[in-house]
Structure formats: structure tokens, C-alpha cells
Amino acid sequence: MSEDPGFQPEAPAMRADGSDVTPETTVEPVSDGGSTESGRRGRPRPQATIERDEQVRALLRDNGAMTRSAIAEKLGWEPKDAYASLWRLRNYEQAVEKVPGKSEWQLAGATPAPPSE
């Protein structure tokens, strides 16, 4: 393939001392068509999944810290389903967190209840 004889490459920018100036590269955000409102990539979550996660959030809001098994029992779910909701709420929305030193979950930023005697 032959080059266009009229093509003149742009001369590199020079500093006052004669050294080359390397232009900064800017990166423009690219829409992937699959982003969600929170900026995550991938497919949007089904409405049923969003509703399940909201049930877990409401349960923790109303009852305080709970174990995964207690959440599953209260909602009539398998423990694996409760864990899946907790995982999404922790990793994607930072809405829940583990209670330090316990196997309980609570809303993010909640003050843990004092230890029972």
C-alpha cells in the first residue's frame, strides 16, 4: 500500500531547550452498552434478584446483625441464597459487612450490639 504523497506527518512538539514533548494521552470513557446505573459492567440484575437483596437489607435494618443461617430461616430461603444476596450487597453496593470477630452480618456502618452475657 503506498502512502499519500501529500501526507505530511505532524512535527513533534519541542521544548525551548530543543527536547521533544511527549503529548499526554487522554482516555475517553467508552460506553459498553451493558453498564448499570452504578457504573458496573455486565448485564443488569433481574428484578427478582434486586427484590431479594432488598429483603435482606430490610431484615438487617429491622433486626440488627444476623447470621446467614438466621437470615435464610427468617426469609424461608436456603443458606446459599442468603449468602448470594449478602455477597452482592457487600461487594457491589457496600451495603452490608461482616461483624468483626463474628459470623454475623449487619448494615454497613451500623454500630454492633454489645456482647450478650
**How far apart are alpha carbons 70 and 78 in whole angstroms?**
10
Confidence of residue 110 (pLDDT cuts 50, 70, 90): confident
In a domain, 36, yes or no: no
Domain that holds residue 88: 47-107
CATH code (residue 81): 1.10.10.10
In a domain, 12, yes or no: no
In a domain, 69, yes or no: yes
User: What is the rounded average pLDDT of the residues 19-41?
Assistant: 54
Please give the model's pTM, rounded to 2 decimal places: 0.58
Q: How many structural domains comprise the chain?
A: 1
pLDDT digits (tens, 9 = 90+) for 55-77: 999 999 999 999 999 999 999 99
- Residue listed under C-alpha cell 530543543: 18
User: What is the rounded average pLDDT of the residues 82-107?
Assistant: 89
Cell of 102: 463474628
